[in-house]
Amino acid sequence: DAGSGVAVLMEIARALKAQPTSIGVDLILFDAEDYGQPMPSKYPHMEDSYCLGSQYWSKNKHRADYVAYYGILLDMVGGKNAQFCREAFSMQYAPSIVQQVWASAGELGYGNYFMDCDAGGITDDHYYVNKLAQIPMIDIIDYRPNSGFGAFWHTKNDNIDIIDKKTLKAVGQTLLKVAYNQ
Ligand code: AHN
Ligand code: ZN
């Protein structure tokens, strides 16, 4: 279910090459986010069993002297009529980045995706980057107040049929606006 985020990042990579930003932008792809203890499980709770790639990177960066002002995580950003709410860990660790991204989306007319709503904390890669690497990182994730991740989530029905390029465009253009305004 990381396919949509990868698609947006590939197009962002193309745009950044054609028209570089004043600040540096690093694209990072975390592996093994979903490789954790099943929920529910008959076994005792295993702490920190998810998000293995981001946990590893946060503790063992590709460069020891690596710094970043902030990060933006994309998780399930291609669904039809996606609804992105302000996720609680993002608000705890990087509220000004959430504000900036949502404001940029609103200015582009994408307020129907980047909505004025709050979601609970989601255990995702940004949680460990915030906690372990101390880089403020937000999560743009389609977790809907009424239907959660959707009926297709973690099933074989999570395929191209549920993807809408209008959503991918809204996310990609919002991120490019954020990047070019730095
Ligand atoms: C939890 O529901 C705890 N984490 C969801 C993160 C996730 C899974 N994103 C994609 N698949
Ligand atoms: Zn998943």
pLDDT tens digits, residue range 122-157? 999 999 999 999 999 999 999 998 999 999 999 999
* Residue whose structure tokens are 């302000």: 86
Q: Which amino acid is at 17?
A: K
Ligand 1 contacts CB of residue 75 (under 6 A)? yes
Mean pLDDT of 82-111: 98
- Yes or no: say if 48 and 139 are a contact pair by the CB < 8 Å rule: no
Q: Whose CA is nearest to atom 6 of ligand 1?
A: 124
Model confidence at 81: pLDDT above 90:
yes
Ligand 1 atom with the smallest distance to the CA of 76 is 10
> How would you class 127 by CB atoms within 10 Å of its CB: exposed for 0-12, middle for 13-18, buried for 19 or more?
buried
Ligand 1 contacts CB of residue 139 (under 6 A)? no
Model confidence at 180: pLDDT above 90:
yes
Q: Whose CA is nearest to atom 8 of ligand 1?
A: 34
Model confidence at 111: pLDDT above 90:
yes
Ligand 1 contacts CB of residue 107 (under 6 A)? no
Residue 182: pLDDT band with limits 50, 70, 90: confident
* Residue whose structure tokens are 């909505």: 115
Dihedral (C-alpha) 114, 119, 123, 129: value to the nearest 10 degrees? 50
Whole-model pTM? 0.97
Ligand 1 contacts CB of residue 49 (under 6 A)? no
CB neighbourhood size of 47 (10 A): 7
Neighbours of ion ligand 2 (CB under 5 A): 1, 34
CA of 107 to the centre of ligand 2 (A): 30
Ligand 1 contacts CB of residue 122 (under 6 A)? yes
What totals of helices (H) and strands (E) does the chain contain, helices first? 6, 4
The string of pLDDT tens digits covering residues 23-51 is: 999 999 999 999 999 999 999 999 999 99
The string of pLDDT tens digits covering residues 10-19 is: 999 999 999 9
DSSP secondary structure, 50-71, as one string? S-HHHHHHHHS-SSTT---S-E
CA of 35 to the centre of ligand 1 (A): 10
Model confidence at 120: pLDDT above 90:
yes
Rounded to the nearest integer, the mean pLDDT of the chain is 97
